[in-house]
Amino acid sequence: MTLLSPVHIRRLELEQFRAYTSVELSVPPAGLRVVGPNGSGKSTLIEALLLLSTTRSRRGTQDGDLIRHESGVELGVAPYARVLGEIDRGGVTVHLDVTLENQPERSTTRKVLKVADRPRRAVDVVGLLPTVAFSPEDLDLVLGSPPIRRRWLDVVLSQTDRKYLRFLSRYGKILSQRNGLLKQGNNNGNSPSASEFTYWDEQLTALGAYIIAARALAVARIAASASIRFTSLAPEVELLGLEYQSPLNQPPVWWDALVSGQPSADDVVQRVGAVYEFQMGESLTSDLARGSTQIGPHRDDVAFTLGGRPLTRFGSRGQQRLAVVALKLAEADFMAAVTDLRPVFMLDDVLSELDPDHRQSLVETVRENGSQIIVTATEGALLNGENLRDLGLAELASPGELTLR
């Protein structure tokens, strides 16, 4: 059995980041409790860690929104924000640095990523600080739209597979080019010939087959773990299921056979690619009529079931919430199994959403797994349990004003 090493955040420094002018936090190996009223900046600390982890802001947040508006005035420079982190990655120290700078003349935000003070691309940074983040808005993973679930898969897989992140980025660019060509036919009434799509289709098939294969394999592994986690949380409830859904229009039995056993990734990619290539050719007429590409991972989804029935329709709100708890625990299981590293587990104001028994079960499971835990709450009483008392404590009385206890 492989011995898993936990990843620890040792130090976090924020400069001109949202409400924080300047703050430096030392984080104990066990983790940190952050207490304060709504709007005081608790979630901002989680947001900063996610930026270090994924190089991206939270869902729906623009990079420019993270910059404190008054920053840079005294220095006579453009508004900026900076986040630095010192990470213990299985005994290896890693220094991460993300700087954001407004560029008013271009109406954009420039982002500079560094590892050990050397500029790096996002593909070289993502995954150095593996994290699992859980907040109340994650209920949208069950109730929300497909893009939310696709983004969740992309965040998980980008932290565990650098090739996936490279392919995902290239796929988006190629898809945009192909859709542009499709729209040309709609705009001028002269449809491009099939030969004009050959290059784009070959590229999309190669990139998309890898993305679909990686997602299908990951969902299968996460589903198995989530089912066990859910049964532990709700033993009297029917089984939780996760089903990967793809526009490749293959029956569930085909997908089950694809990921069953321990197939090699290359074999799965090859089998997906053969179906993908055929269906891309078959869909060209429809794509031209619609002006967009109908086949590919940009249309994937993940379905949640309870006892084989849609969780959104047949599950109570409490059961849906527990499904997300199980999903997040399974996400951590998957990341640890793939990387041999225990990700940092961040609970952002979720303990108040759970009853005492499930609250204790969630925290105990994370602690038993050996993950460092960062947990926030508006009420200190929620963080005073025996299984959290050894964590450091930071208090926020007002926005950006943080005190370590």
Tens digits of per-residue pLDDT, 375-392? Answer: 999 999 999 988 999 999
18 and 61 both lie in a single domain: yes
Residue 75 scores a pLDDT above 80: no
222 and 191 both lie in a single domain: yes
Residue 187 scores a pLDDT above 70: no
Task: Please identify which residue in the block is written with the tokens 């400069």.
Answer: 15
What is the C-alpha separation between 318 and 119, in angstroms, rounded? Answer: 45
Nearest to 138 by CA among 298, 384, 362: 362
The overall pTM is greater than 0.85: yes
Mean pLDDT of 256-281: 93
81 and 143 both lie in a single domain: no
Q: 356, exposed or middle or buried, with CB in 10 Å at 0-12, 13-18, 19+? A: exposed
238: number of CA atoms within 13 Å, CB side?
13
- List all residues 6 or more positions away from 220 whose beta carbon is below 8 Å from its beta carbon: 244, 259
What is the C-alpha separation between 135 and 120, in angstroms, rounded? Answer: 29
125 and 145 both lie in a single domain: no
Mean pLDDT of 240-262: 91
328 and 269 both lie in a single domain: yes
Domain limits for position 169: 138-341
Mean pLDDT of 108-122: 95
Q: 95, exposed or middle or buried, with CB in 10 Å at 0-12, 13-18, 19+? A: middle
pLDDT band at 2 (very low <50, low <70, confident <90, very high): low
187: number of CA atoms within 13 Å, CB side?
7
Other beta carbons within 10 angstroms of residue 83's beta carbon come to 23
Tell me the pLDDT of the chain averaged across its residues: 93
66 and 185 both lie in a single domain: no
Which of 314, 341, 368 terminates a domain? The answer is: 341
Tens digits of per-residue pLDDT, 145-185? Answer: 999 999 999 999 999 999 999 999 999 999 999 999 998 86
| Residue 221, pLDDT score | 96
Tens digits of per-residue pLDDT, 286-334? Answer: 999 899 999 999 999 999 999 999 999 999 999 999 999 999 999 999 9
Helix (H) or strand (E) holding 351: none
Interaxial angle between packed helices 146-160 and 317-339, expressed in degrees from 0 to 180 and rounded to the nearest 10: 20
Token pair in block for residue 332: 């951590």
Q: 249, exposed or middle or buried, with CB in 10 Å at 0-12, 13-18, 19+? A: exposed
Contacts made by residues 140-143, CB under 8 angstroms, sequence distance 24+: 141/324, 141/327, 142/304, 142/311, 142/312, 142/315, 142/320, 142/323, 142/324, 143/312, 143/320
Residue 366 scores a pLDDT above 70: yes
Which of 298, 318, 341 terminates a domain? The answer is: 341
| Residue 186, pLDDT score | 66
CB 300 within 8 A of CB 215: yes
| Residue 1, pLDDT score | 46
| Residue 4, pLDDT score | 87
What is the C-alpha separation between 174 and 165, in angstroms, rounded? Answer: 14
Where residue 263 sits, what CATH number does that domain have? 1.20.1050.90
pLDDT band at 220 (very low <50, low <70, confident <90, very high): very high
Q: How many domains does the chain have?
A: 2
Where residue 17 sits, what CATH number does that domain have? 3.40.50.300
Residue 214 scores a pLDDT above 90: yes
